[in-house]
A = this chain, B = another copy of it.
Amino acid sequence: MKITALAGGVGGAKLADGLAQLLPAEDLTVIVNTGDDFEHFGLHVSPDLDTVCYTLAGSANPDTGWGRSGESFTVLQELSTLGQETWFRLGDQDLATHIYRNKRLKEGAPLSLITRELCAFWEIRPTILPMTDQPVQTKVITDVFGILDFQDYFVRHHCEPVVRGFRFDGVETAVPAPGVLEALESADAVVFCPSNPWVSIDPILSLPGVRGALGNQSVVAVSPLIDGKTVKGPAAKMFIELGIPATALSVAEHYGSLLAAFILDDADRKRGYTFPIPVLWTNTLMKTSADRRRLAQDVLNLIRSL
């Protein structure tokens, strides 16, 4: 069964890892949000791509959810003596990734090729694709702080500003990276990982051609909201600030007619939702590697049942 997954940061990376544990490498493609990409210290940083890759390579920091395990911060400390801001915690090992990517971008290599190269070095066998090789910038429209770059909102402002909406600058003219539309069209099913609908999945869905490619697909989404809360990140807060109940039901409604099936947490059984599509209640919390595999198995079982 060929699966193409859409993923953002930590939650998406975990389910992608679970799928990678179960599927032959050639049957799994992960399309990753690049709307959070930004330039830091003059280097191109792709937070979601790195989180997905580090997680699949087994080198992600399990405590923080970002960066590498066993990380040191020598360069960052030295940069702080050069008057540089340290709100984005770039570790030394992580920095090597950004230096490599920056060098290759400067040489004219597209992000999708660089990602393929990095995956080869890290021995990641499933196909990891950035959603696009062009710059797309997620902007968070806030009440008091105006329009913020995503990392500004997320890391510097700790997601505190009240959200009024989102913009994906550049998305209208961006082209899905080579292989993205093909992976969506040729898959047996598409999985929306439990990533933030607003700032992880929506940027991918906003790319020209992506919704069209999903038109005849069986899409299964996993809710990132468990009992109205997120494990990590501001998705629940965003729903509330946009005037929408922070519930798994709202996630399903957000994706609307794209969905063929939906997975939500056992904790949400009590809410008595009714859905017009097949749903599966299960334990969606992924604390261990076995949890990732178990949830991925639930996803595959649901797809097979469709």
Give me the interface of A with B, judged by CB distance under 8 Å. 41-43, 72, 74-76, 78-79, 81-84, 92-93, 95-97, 99-100, 102-104, 106-107, 117-118, 121
Known: A72-B72, A72-B74, A75-B75. A82 touches B102 (CB 8 A): no
With A92-B92, A121-B81 as contacts: A103 and B41 at CB distance below 8 Å: yes
* Sample (14) of A-B pairs whose CB atoms are under 8 Å apart: A42-B99, A42-B103, A42-B106, A42-B107, A72-B74, A74-B74, A74-B92, A75-B75, A81-B96, A82-B96, A82-B97, A82-B118, A84-B100, A95-B95
Given contacts A99-B41, A100-B41, contact A92 B121 (CB under 8 A): no
**How many copies, total?**
2
- The CA-CA distance from A103 to B78 in the complex, in Å, is 15
Please name all residues of chain B whose beta carbon is closer than 8 Å to the beta carbon of A92 when the two chains form the complex. 72, 74-75, 78, 92
Q: Which residues of B contact A43 (CB under 8 A)?
A: 99, 103
Docked Cα-Cα span, A106 to B42, in Å, equals: 7
Residues of B within 8 A of A78 (CB): 92-93, 95-97
Complex Cα gap A84–B100 (Å):
8
Question: Cα distance A9–B102 when bound, in Å?
Answer: 28
A81 to B68 alpha-carbon distance, docked (Å): 14
Known: A92-B92, A103-B42, A106-B42. A121 touches B75 (CB 8 A): no
Do A79 and B106 form a contact, CB below 8 Å, given A72-B74, A74-B72?
A: no
B83 to A99, Cβ gap below 8 A?
Answer: no
B-side contacts of A81, CB under 8 Å: 96, 121
Q: How far is the CA of A41 from the CA of B84 in the complex (A)?
A: 21
Q: How far is the CB of A41 from chain B (nearest CB, A)?
A: 5
The residue in chain B whose Cβ has the minimal distance to the Cβ of A43 is: B99
Residues of chain B with a CB closer than 8 A to A72's CB = 72, 74, 92
Instruction: Pick the residue among B79, B103, B121 that contacts A99 (CB under 8 A).
Output: B79
A75 and B95 contact, CB distance less than 8 A? yes
Q: How far is the CA of A96 from the CA of B99 in the complex (A)?
A: 12
Which of B41, B84, B100, B107 makes the CB contact (< 8 A) with A82? B100
The CA-CA distance from A97 to B81 in the complex, in Å, is 10
Q: Once the chains are docked, how many angstroms separate the CA of A72 from the CA of B93? A: 12
Nearest-neighbour CB distance to chain B for A55, whole angstroms, equals 17
Nearest chain B CB to A58 CB, angstrom units? 14
Specify which of B74, B83, B102, B103 is in contact with A121 (CB 8 Å cutoff). Answer: B83
Residues on B with C-beta less than 8 A from A103 are: 41-43
Residues on B with C-beta less than 8 A from A118 are: 82
Residues of B within 8 A of A79 (CB): 96, 99-100
